[in-house]
Amino acid sequence: MEAQVQVAQAPYISSVASRYLNRELSQIEFTRRVLALAEDPLLPLLERVRFLAILGEVLDQFFQVRVAGLKEQLLAAHPPVSPDGLTPTEQLLAIRTGVEAVVTRAASLINQEIAPGLKNARICLVRTDELDETDRGYVAGVFRDRIFPVLTPLAVDPAHPFPYISNLSLNLAVMVRDAPRRQLRFARVKVPPLLPRFVALPDGHRFITLEQVIALHLQALFPGMDVVSHHAFRVTRDADLELVDEEAADLLATIQSELRRLQRKAAVVRLEVEATMTDEVLGLLMRELELEPTDVYKTDGLLDLSALWALYGLDRPDLKDEPWNPVTQRRLQGAGKEPPDLFRVLRQGDILVHHPYDSFATSVEAFIDQAALDGGVLAIKQTLYRTSGPASPIVKSLIRAAEAGKQVVALVELKARGDEQANIAWAQALEQAGVHVAYGVVGLKTHAKVTLVVRNEDGVIRRYVHIGTGNYNPKTAQIYEDVGLLSADPKLGTDVSELFNFLTGYSRQRRFGKLLVAPVGLRSSVIRLIRQGGKPGGRIILKVNSLVDPEIVDALYEASQAGAEIDLIVRGMCCLRPGVPGLSERIRVRSIVGRFLEHSRIFRFGPEHDGVEYYLGSSDLMPRNLDRRVEAMVPIEHAPLQDRLAEILQVELSDDTQAWELKSDGSWTRIPSQRGINAQHVFQELAVARARSGQSAADA
């Protein structure tokens, strides 16, 4: 087990000759790093369960988008080759090898360590053959009262075609025999997704899966028939929304129509089945779902690891990390019980916030809430990519501001992957409240995280802004690591005004005073900054979620060859090969995977001391971010705030408990712990110390 924790192998990457690593296989390496956390015996037990749930979600997303995209490429007359030289077929075969290894390790971990550990902690996952007579009576009552009424068995015969199997649904494939006719028939029973996946037994510490409860009572669904066999299976479909006509008169209606089409017509890209499924049933499923053997993943563990979130939600603080309560920076604390006048505070100087260590509620939410209530505020404009819906404090503030007669504009991204339907719902709620809702620029997703507040101050119009790396979502702000800038800088306010004109009107704005904006100039600006730093004594540090873009990778190679020292902190995918002699020997790549999801994007360019430039914003270094999305990166020019960003980067580069190092062959190795530095723990300590000492971000 120790070897699995320390090294994430990459057996399918055999050559270091290529300039690029494969992005899909790099993503699989990220799943290995997540799995390594679940394998870590030093973590609290339910935190290990949480990482298994996260692993399930990451794999689901990977198949719905990336694998689905590769399968579509197979249909092209001339399938494209990836930058690292692999065909779609080669990538799919390599993905199969990598994912199968991850799934096998996860199932073994659950069976051999997690389930026994939970049992020792009085959280028992039981099977039907472990139920006594009293248990069976209780489960029968639960089935009769809560489960049976919502089940719909669907038969397959000449009069009943094979049913549609919805995306990510868990099902039972049931074989029944009509005794008089001696005919075998197939039926599908969908496990209701709205019911709890784990059924608690009366003692409160034993749980049985919902599909086992249903399987135990299949005879009630097929009276008069003999139930011959039953096997659980799960289907994953293409979930990537593609609009043929983004210039349709009603984009919202077009997206709603495409979502309905996707729900019914999307191709199946993965079939997960119990290892005990018979060849006869598996063959039927593969035939009806039009799948190849390489699309099938057998497991002797739990189907749908994301269901483990239910166990993590149990009230067992003794099996979890100590809860973290974000702190409020001194300048945002106000005097006594009175909240601070944030507009006055920002006129005195910019504020940098670092979530979840700095409170989202007392910074970003408070900024928008105060703007909604302030009599001098004339307008609020905000981009919304993902949020927590109509109940979000930010959405409520926008509605309150609109009802008060303020000019309120919400730029809602309807194409935010996975949240399309939710975004449509609360976009309509905003419109009904009087908020002006716009859907962005044709052909581009709006991924920028910006807010503009326009205020009349004694006849003078002043602008206040927030620009960040994370979504305006109070829930994810508690578990995602992000940074943001609150500012009253007039030039920055002008830039953000121009950006909103670009998003909501017919502006062809191509140049901005301070902001770096995609797709109109961010790519060229980043390459220019890398090249400027590409010299002896040059220093470049980039913290991103993903580094995929070949042009950016090539620019970093050139900077390394020119003598610059380069450190890259990349949470997920990285297509750059570090440490290759003559190409990238001065480039080091690390990944930090821990309790909080590393999500901020911070760019640092320049020599060690003089002329250093810092940027933060919404963009990763991927073609989609640089060319097909509206992104915003803001320079951090105030020296104390630069020092704060320098501190963040330095702490992450010093981490030796959560950090992994990328090798030139594409494998990731856990960095040996020598000083025991956990960056996320350090940030918690720094946040508390600043709040208690009275130091502000600007003074720290």
Q: Which residue has the higher pLDDT, 678 or 8?
A: 678
Residues 378 and 465 placed together within one structural domain of the fold: yes
The pTM of this model reads 0.90
Nearest Cα to 578, choosing from 7, 123, 21, 10? 21
Residues 160 and 261 placed together within one structural domain of the fold: yes
Q: CA-to-CA distance for 65 and 79, rounded, in angstroms?
A: 17
* Residue 316 near residue 123 (C-beta atoms within 8 A): yes
Residues 535 and 453 placed together within one structural domain of the fold: no
Q: CA-to-CA distance for 157 and 593, rounded, in angstroms?
A: 50
Strand partners, 636: 614
Exposure class string for 518-530: b at 16+ Cβ within 10 A, else e: bbbebbebbbebb
Residues 623 and 667 placed together within one structural domain of the fold: yes
Residues 254 and 339 placed together within one structural domain of the fold: no
Does residue 180 form part of some domain? yes
**Mean pLDDT score, 164-175:** 94
In this predicted structure, the answer to whether residue 248 has a pLDDT above a threshold of 50 is: no
Residues 491 and 531 placed together within one structural domain of the fold: no
**Mean pLDDT score, 234-245:** 72
Residues 607 and 676 placed together within one structural domain of the fold: yes
Nearest Cα to 649, choosing from 696, 597, 700, 614? 614
For 610-658, what is each residue's pLDDT tens digit? Answer: 789 999 999 999 999 999 999 999 999 999 999 999 999 999 999 999 9
Nearest Cα to 305, choosing from 99, 130, 478, 475? 99
Picking from 66, 98, 117, the residue at the C-terminal end of a domain is 117
Residue 198 tokens, joined? 């784990």
Confidence of residue 412 (pLDDT cuts 50, 70, 90): confident
* pLDDT for position 76: 86
* pLDDT for position 205: 94
Domains: count for the chain: 4
* pLDDT for position 389: 64
pLDDT > 70: percent of the chain? 89
CATH of the domain at 278: 3.30.1840.10
Residue 91 tokens, joined? 């990538």
Residues 141 and 105 placed together within one structural domain of the fold: no
Q: How many residues does the chain have?
A: 700
Q: Exposed (0-12), middle (13-18) or buried (19+): which is 150, by Cβ within 10 Å?
A: exposed
Does residue 198 form part of some domain? yes
In the numeric block, the tokens 């979840």 are attached to: 356
Q: CA-to-CA distance for 136 and 463, rounded, in angstroms?
A: 66
Does residue 37 form part of some domain? yes
Least confident of 352-366, 374-388, 459-473: 374-388
Residue 84: phi and psi, rounded to 5, are -90, 5
Q: CA-to-CA distance for 268 and 264, rounded, in angstroms?
A: 11
Q: CA-to-CA distance for 466 and 449, rounded, in angstroms?
A: 8
Q: Is the peptide bond before 356 cis (omega within 30 degrees of 0)?
A: yes
Residues 338 and 444 placed together within one structural domain of the fold: yes
Residues spanned by the domain of 537: 516-693
For 557-598, what is each residue's pLDDT tens digit? Answer: 999 999 999 999 999 999 999 999 999 999 999 999 999 999
Q: Exposed (0-12), middle (13-18) or buried (19+): which is 644, by Cβ within 10 Å?
A: buried
CATH of the domain at 9: 1.20.58.310
Q: Which residue has the higher pLDDT, 131 or 505?
A: 131
Confidence of residue 385 (pLDDT cuts 50, 70, 90): confident
Q: CA-to-CA distance for 292 and 281, rounded, in angstroms?
A: 14
In this predicted structure, the answer to whether residue 683 has a pLDDT above a threshold of 60 is: yes
For 490-524, what is each residue's pLDDT tens digit? Answer: 999 999 999 998 888 766 667 899 999 999 999 99
Residues 223 and 271 placed together within one structural domain of the fold: yes
Nearest Cα to 657, choosing from 6, 39, 29, 44? 6
Least confident of 63-72, 241-250, 580-589: 241-250
Picking from 56, 82, 117, the residue at the C-terminal end of a domain is 117
Does residue 275 form part of some domain? yes
Confidence of residue 334 (pLDDT cuts 50, 70, 90): confident
- Name the CA dihedral angle for 324, 330, 332, 337, rounded to a multiple of 10 degrees: 90
Q: Which residue has the higher pLDDT, 109 or 10?
A: 109
Does residue 297 form part of some domain? no
Picking from 100, 117, 134, the residue at the C-terminal end of a domain is 117
CATH of the domain at 334: 3.30.870.10
* pLDDT for position 156: 86
For 415-460, what is each residue's pLDDT tens digit? Answer: 545 555 566 667 777 888 888 888 767 678 889 999 999 999 999 9
The three state secondary structure string of 568-613 is EEECCCECECCCCCCCCCCEEEEEECCCCEECCEEEEECCCCCCCE
Residue 15 tokens, joined? 């050559």
Does residue 315 form part of some domain? no
* Residue 216 near residue 189 (C-beta atoms within 8 A): no
Least confident of 5-14, 154-163, 185-194, 485-494: 5-14
Active-site annotation, residues: 447
CB atoms within 10 A of CB 14: 9
* Residue 323 near residue 313 (C-beta atoms within 8 A): no
In this predicted structure, the answer to whether residue 697 has a pLDDT above a threshold of 60 is: no
Confidence of residue 91 (pLDDT cuts 50, 70, 90): very high
Nearest Cα to 94, choosing from 37, 20, 27, 168? 27
pLDDT > 90: percent of the chain? 76
Does residue 391 form part of some domain? yes
Residue 490 tokens, joined? 């007039």
Question: How far is residue 396 from each of residues 248, 399, 426, 536, 601, measured CA to CA in Å?
Answer: 30, 5, 11, 52, 28
Does residue 308 form part of some domain? no
Residues 159 and 58 placed together within one structural domain of the fold: no
Angle, to 10 degrees, between the axis of helix 550-561 and the axis of helix 522-533?
10
Residue 161's identity, in one-letter code, is: P
* pLDDT for position 640: 95
Q: CA-to-CA distance for 179 and 181, rounded, in angstroms?
A: 6
Q: Which residue has the higher pLDDT, 692 or 250?
A: 692
In this predicted structure, the answer to whether residue 260 has a pLDDT above a threshold of 90 is: no
Residue 684 tokens, joined? 């918690």
**How does DSSP assign 176-219, residue by residue?**
EEETTTTEEEEEEEEPPTTS-SEEEPTTSSEEEEHHHHHHHTGG
Q: Exposed (0-12), middle (13-18) or buried (19+): which is 44, by Cβ within 10 Å?
A: middle
Q: CA-to-CA distance for 570 and 576, rounded, in angstroms?
A: 10
* Residue 403 near residue 434 (C-beta atoms within 8 A): yes
Residues 400 and 463 placed together within one structural domain of the fold: yes
